[in-house]
Structure 1
Amino acid sequence: MASKQLSAEEGAGSGSGTDSPTEPLVFTETPSSKLFCLLCERVFKDAVITTCGHTFCRWCVNMKTNEKCPVDDSKLSVVVANIAVSEQIGELFIHCKYGCQQADGGKMGEWELDPRGCPMTVRVNARKEHEASCGYAPVSCPNNPNCPPLKRMELEEHLKQCDHIRCPHHKYGCTFVGTSSDVSHHLTNICRFEGIKEFLQQTEDKMREMQLQLAQKDQEIAFLRSMLGRLSEKIDALEKSVEVKLDVLDESCNKLQDEVMESRRDCALINDELSHINARLNTGVVGTLDPQQIFRCKGTYVGHQGPVWTLCVHGDLLFSGSSDKTIKVWDIPSLEHMKTIQAHDNPVCTLVASNNLLFSGSLKAIKVWDIHTLQLKRELTGLNHWVRALVASTHYLYSGSYQTIKIWDLKSLECVHVLQTSGGSVYSIAITNHHILCGTYENCIHVWDLDSHEQIQTLTGHVGTVYALAVVNTHEGTKVFSASYDRSLRVWSMDNMICTQTLLRHQGSVACLAVSRGRVFSGAVDSTVKFLSRSPTRDHHVDL
């Protein structure tokens, strides 16, 4: 149990991060060292990923823009919020701030438990909800600020005994003050406003309505004045620029005519060259080659109201899962939207299809849909966190969440085995002919025997979350590629469980992998896709 802790600058993992907080924050257990910012040496406050790929507090980065990254000496600049770290910090338990006090003889901002205060412990992400209703919160008497300090749970009893209660008609001029019983007697026998309270209330309502109408009129007048000013400025600007734009337009038209003529000449030369190439190819055994047959975008599927996190193909159907909590079904040949499934109460993180079933993963739930009728058949529960990874084999479905892999029978849809992991949330899963592998938040790859479900190895080497795993079968044996937040790709031999190669080809975190015909494609936050294959072919990249 932690008895002392620095102020809330050590973070709750969320918030704007624009100001340095001063509220006490006492954890029930000392957080992991990986949750501490290297700049302020405290638990992350609104964790963000910078351009160098490392995580710091947003406040630390904004207030120390002239400093360099302590890891690689790069200039600090915020790229994106680190939601995974913020979620992990939000699950930590702390003591209610009304159960903490300034430590005697401690440093400024150092806190300890107050035995007279609130004994509750709550998660960081739920502290505001608790503290808004905590009975130990200090409150003031609504009748008189000179009353002694109170706790929220003492207020009701105090109001029964308070001798500073004002007459309800004090806003109309009544000056009577007394206890609750005195006020009741005053209203019954003495107060001259009690008899005309309905008239006074009606008058007050009319005054309030008139004030509201006046405020609305003032806003309308101010808006109209602002619009008139803007219109006047635009008219002046248009009058000044119209002559210049006409001159530019004439010059542009002349240039465009010249470019069109030149393009026509170029097209004629290209068509002539293509005719010669086709003629030469037709004389051989290869057949006709049309060099103009290139890949083109055939259509765009539009309809989601948030980022699309996952795609799944089954036959001629494409399924897409999004932050808008839906699964959309598209017909691939016609590019038509067929149906929208209101899938989850939270974003859809992952999709996989198998045995004429579609599985969708979200927060603490996997839903099972009939792939033909798109009707919900069942919901798989008992999951402890976000389901970020789903993989299906011939007979089983594998799901990854917080430190857990669950194995489900595809026929009965029952959980038949649970693999316990370490290292935080499971971000990726891969299945080989003999092994089950998973990549975790804390940089490790755990390996189990596919048949006995016994953990046989932990592969280490990455220094960031393992976001993706991919299996490649070669004549030399089975290889597993791993992609990580540390910007690297690692190649693992499943025969001896060692890393045979480390590839540093990206300038940012590697987020996803795909395999086709022995070739590996990797996508990263540096906006590039790398294409890697065995020598002598070189690796290539595509800028997105």
Structure 2
Amino acid sequence: MELDSDVKPRPATEADLRVTIKQANLKATATTSSSKPRKDKIVCRHWIQGKCRYADDKCKFLHSWTIGDDVSLMSTLQGHKKSVTGIVLPPGSDKLYTGSTDGTVRVWDCVSGKCVRVINLGGEVGCVINEGHWVFVGVPNAVKALNTQKPSCEMTTLGLRGPARVGQVYAMVVGNDILFAGTHSGSILSWRFNPVTNSFEPAAASLKGHTLGVASLAVGGGATSTKRHTLLYSGSFDGSIRVWSLESLQCVQTLAEHTSVVTSLICSDRCLFSCALDQTLKIWAPAAATDQSENKDMLEVKYTHSEEYGLLALSGMHDSEGKPVLWCSCNDNILRLYDLPSFCERGRVFAKQEIRVIQAAGPHGLVFTGDGTGAVRVWKWGPA
């Protein structure tokens, strides 16, 4: 799994991924006709499951993990026994970290593709993120932290403020130097790093408001702010999205357009992308206000993209020409690539089971995905 590539597209930054809402609406009518693959480009589902009776040149369907010219499979990392729930490649590191509901974090060497360490956590891993040289892992009733500059050290358990039993930690994000963790209880926990004690300390009381668990988190900027990461967004099993001020840690708006679990959130400066099991992807942007002193940061739905299946994960990045592309995983075991702002489909990635994790890997033109079988796949992202 060499981290080398001639093509070096980069992951989208918040400002880079900004979508022109007006253009998206104008081109929405073309989505239906252009989003379906031609009949001569249908992948054999029996082959995907390893059960096709025909040779590659005898089957009337394609034997391929992808459709399109932009994505090619480089390697498959096998080891996890259950669904992959997190993948991170810390900046400057030659180690890939993956977490799974099998209760382990695996550390992979990026040159050899070999697993060099297995960390047993004693409970399902709900999510994995990194910030700087720290890797954070969400498990039942706890968040564990690993300093990748000291890889042989054991994981540190972050202390909780308040009730110790909050259930599984499903989502985490860092904003304004605060680590936030969304839990099964519906509360959002937070910690701040103390360089004096070299430890993480609870930053505030739990953020509460969701009636069911928190499934997704993201940070972004307000409509009138010149600074990024002024807002925290939380998506819940209750179908709502809450918007929190990172300054006051108070909820400033509740978005209630989704009707099922909000599975993924990504920000693009003034816009928020959300997807849910209700088979929709929504783009939110600041509402038009007649009085500029009021509602200037309030979001409303500007565009809705519908799928035939529930949506699981989103990731935004640029192609080799600098054009924004949205990667969107659905629970039909297919990951779709969409050009923005047109939402015209440009490719597909297939899996044996649902892809719940999509992670771009810096300037190397690599994208990692993790599916329900425990497989971690490494893709080259760029023209063949």
> What is the CA-CA distance between 1:542 and the residue it aligns to?
1.1
> What is the CA-CA distance between 1:391 and the residue it aligns to?
1.1
- CA distance 1:295–1:535, shift in 2 (3 Å): closer
- Report the counterpart of residue 125 of structure 1 in structure 2: none
SS in 2 for 1:299: strand
Q: 2:126 aligns with which of 334, 349, 359?
A: 349
> What is the CA-CA distance between 1:541 and the residue it aligns to?
4.5
What is the alpha-carbon distance in structure 2 between the residues aligned to residue 422 and residue 384 of structure 1?
A: 13
What is the alpha-carbon distance in structure 1 between the residues aligned to residue 241 and residue 281 of structure 2?
A: 13
SS in 1 for 2:210: strand
Taking structure 2 as the reference length, the TM-score comes to 0.60
Is 2:97 aligned against 1:306? no
Q: How many residues end up aligned between the 2 structures?
A: 249
Moved more, 305-314 or 373-382: 373-382
1:131-172 CA-to-partner distances (Å, cap 9, x unmatched) read xxxxxxxxxxxxxxxxxxxxxxxxxxxxxxxxxxxxxxxxxx
Q: 1:369 aligns with which of 138, 146, 161?
A: 146
Q: How does 1:112-191 map to 2 (within 5 A)?
A: none
Q: How does 1:136-285 map to 2 (within 5 A)?
A: none
- Report the counterpart of residue 4 of structure 1 in structure 2: none
What is the alpha-carbon distance in structure 1 between the residues aligned to residue 274 and residue 107 of structure 2?
A: 30
Verify the 8 A CA contact 2:176 2:246 in the aligned structure 1. no
Q: 2:333 aligns with which of 489, 511, 527?
A: 527
1:379-414 CA-to-partner distances (Å, cap 9, x unmatched) read 124351110001124512110002211121033411
SS in 2 for 1:421: coil
> What is the CA-CA distance between 1:543 and the residue it aligns to?
5.0
- Report the counterpart of residue 465 of structure 1 in structure 2: 261
Is 2:320 aligned against 1:509? no
The structure with more strand, counted as a fraction of residues: 2
Verify the 8 A CA contact 1:446 1:457 in the aligned structure 2. yes
Amino acid at match of 1:531: L
- CA distance 1:489–1:350, shift in 2 (3 Å): same
SS in 2 for 1:424: coil
Is 2:300 aligned against 1:498? yes
Is 2:330 aligned against 1:330? no
- From the CA coordinates, give the structure whose radius of gyration is larger: 1
Q: How does 1:28-43 map to 2 (within 5 A)?
A: none
- CA distance 1:409–1:339, shift in 2 (3 Å): same
- Give the gaps of 5 or more residues in structure 2: 1-56, 59-68, 221-227, 287-296, 319-323, 351-384
> What is the CA-CA distance between 1:496 and the residue it aligns to?
3.4
Verify the 8 A CA contact 2:136 2:143 in the aligned structure 1. yes
Verify the 8 A CA contact 1:367 1:379 in the aligned structure 2. yes
The structure with more helix, counted as a fraction of residues: 1
- Report the counterpart of residue 251 of structure 2 in structure 1: 455
- CA distance 1:346–1:537, shift in 2 (3 Å): closer
1:493-519 CA-to-partner distances (Å, cap 9, x unmatched) read 144311101110x22110111111343
Q: 2:190 aligns with which of 371, 394, 407?
A: 407
Verify the 8 A CA contact 1:310 1:320 in the aligned structure 2. yes
Verify the 8 A CA contact 1:331 1:338 in the aligned structure 2. yes
- Report the counterpart of residue 424 of structure 1 in structure 2: 212
Moved more, 481-490 or 373-382: 373-382
What is the alpha-carbon distance in structure 2 between the residues aligned to residue 470 and residue 487 of structure 1?
A: 17
What is the alpha-carbon distance in structure 2 between the residues aligned to residue 452 and residue 355 of structure 1?
A: 25
- Report the counterpart of residue 170 of structure 2 in structure 1: 388
Moved more, 506-515 or 296-305: 296-305
Verify the 8 A CA contact 2:175 2:246 in the aligned structure 1. no
- CA distance 1:353–1:519, shift in 2 (3 Å): same
Percentage of identical aligned residues:
22
- CA distance 1:394–1:354, shift in 2 (3 Å): farther
- Report the counterpart of residue 273 of structure 2 in structure 1: 481
- Report the counterpart of residue 375 of structure 2 in structure 1: none
> What is the CA-CA distance between 1:297 and the residue it aligns to?
2.9
> What is the CA-CA distance between 1:453 and the residue it aligns to?
1.3
> What is the CA-CA distance between 1:537 and the residue it aligns to?
6.8
Verify the 8 A CA contact 1:355 1:410 in the aligned structure 2. no
What is the alpha-carbon distance in structure 2 between the residues aligned to residue 428 and residue 537 of structure 1?
A: 23
- CA distance 1:428–1:535, shift in 2 (3 Å): closer
Taking structure 1 as the reference length, the TM-score comes to 0.43
Verify the 8 A CA contact 2:178 2:203 in the aligned structure 1. no
SS in 2 for 1:376: coil
What is the alpha-carbon distance in structure 2 between the residues aligned to residue 407 and residue 383 of structure 1?
A: 15
